[in-house]
Structure 1
């Protein structure tokens, strides 16, 4: 089976006064198509830096990144966005606030396409958008004509998820996407996330600080520390882990 995502000796540095500090150190990682990987690590371990290296928001100091058979190591973030979708911790970051829910979904449906002055045919798409939004279970389908800035945090994050997955990405990055939500809403968003990722068999990496989620979701778990991958558990190995086992990496 061909790898979907490959990182070979990826390194990222930052200049600190008179010396260079490594943020990622020779990361080697291979994801098969459909891998659903939880990413754990302490603050400063390099989790978001890893995502930023993949999306091109931080340049590589060394190494090579290949996604869906294409080397993207030096492509600009805008070009990588045709292949990669990302949902951030802040629900406000994934949507256009003054556009309606339907308008946001219409925009997401054209991701990777050249934007033109052609009609959006928004009205014709409303039934499909309503059916799509109903999957979230939080009333989003009743808010298609509402500006996104008027949604609750949970609804807005659910919309971000739908937008990220509406046009199947080659890689979905979830960057602590439930961290800003209350426990009940977080649980609901994780249920939606799991449904979308597993049904569509998306290749996904999800950063989380919730140990229970790291043990419950996905088929693989990697742990970062000081810019290195210090553990990589497949499904069978992860099933033997407990939250107490994971806590040892946070000491």
Structure 2
């Protein structure tokens, strides 16, 4: 199997009161290109810690992390950001509030490039940005000239998704990205998410507490508990799961 992401025996520790406490213990995980993985677990199970280890926001105590053939275990978060895109729970994160929607998209289109004093070229991109924004189905294409801080939570999260996927990342991390939204908006954002991930064949990991979304979306499902992956369901196994099956892991 081709490997897009590989975590090999990854461990993360924290020191509290002169005692070493493991947050992740021996995480082994391999994703093939295009894998779309739902990530479940109770609070404190290690889900966000695993994401932070992948992005470099937390240092691993042991093990290796390989992405698209590159060992990124000890790379700085800024360097990894050229390969990894992440959408957070808070719609306010990941966008520049006082910049317009179009300006945010322009920034995202230049991720990983050296910034220069050259003309922004915003006008030349407007038609393309309008087409992109129209995919969200929430009127974002009509708000390209508006400051991002004036958008609704759903529009802002849709913008975050567009920005994260505009320059195809090697890995897309969705960190409970619908948790702060009402049910109707959450369903809309999940529809946009599924469209972007599947059409672009992106490799994606999605933390969620919505069991229905975990069952409906993606081709794999993993469950974390106490810093370990305790279940890894493939597409066939996942299709046979029910909500009641998943509730057993939250007892």
Band of TM-score, shorter chain: over 0.9
Q: CA deviation at 1:239?
A: 1.1
Partner of 2:151: 151
Partner of 2:181: 181
> CA separation in 2, counterparts of 1:201 and 1:243?
27
Say yes or no: does 1:139 pair with 2:139. yes
Counterpart mapping for 1:67-82 below 5 A: 67-82=67-82
> CA separation in 1, counterparts of 2:221 and 2:2?
20
Counterpart mapping for 1:57-76 below 5 A: 57-76=57-76
Moved over 6 A (4+): none
Q: CA deviation at 1:95?
A: 0.3
Q: CA deviation at 1:73?
A: 0.1
> CA separation in 2, counterparts of 1:16 and 1:45?
18
> CA separation in 1, counterparts of 2:113 and 2:121?
16
Q: CA deviation at 1:45?
A: 0.2
Partner of 1:84: 84
> CA separation in 2, counterparts of 1:142 and 1:240?
42
SS of 1:14's equivalent in the other structure is: strand
> CA separation in 2, counterparts of 1:58 and 1:18?
19
Q: How many residues align?
A: 251
Gaps of 5+ in 1: none
> CA separation in 2, counterparts of 1:224 and 1:195?
26
Q: CA deviation at 1:16?
A: 1.0
> CA separation in 2, counterparts of 1:120 and 1:227?
45
SS of 1:91's equivalent in the other structure is: coil
Q: CA deviation at 1:2?
A: 2.2
Q: CA deviation at 1:219?
A: 0.1
- CA deviations on 1:40-77 (whole Å, 9 max, x unpaired) are 00000000000000000000000000000000000000
Partner of 2:126: 126
Q: CA deviation at 1:99?
A: 0.3
> CA separation in 2, counterparts of 1:213 and 1:108?
27
> CA separation in 1, counterparts of 2:80 and 2:121?
27
> CA separation in 2, counterparts of 1:120 and 1:18?
51
Partner of 2:214: 214
Say yes or no: does 1:246 pair with 2:246. yes
Aligned-pair RMSD on alpha carbons?
Answer: 0.4
Gaps of 5+ in 2: none
- CA deviations on 1:17-41 (whole Å, 9 max, x unpaired) are 1211000001000000000000000
> CA separation in 2, counterparts of 1:18 and 1:72?
29
Q: CA deviation at 1:240?
A: 1.1
> CA separation in 1, counterparts of 2:147 and 2:20?
45
Instruction: With the length of structure 1 as denominator, give the TM-score of the two structures.
Output: 1.00
Counterpart mapping for 1:5-24 below 5 A: 5-24=5-24
Q: CA deviation at 1:141?
A: 0.1
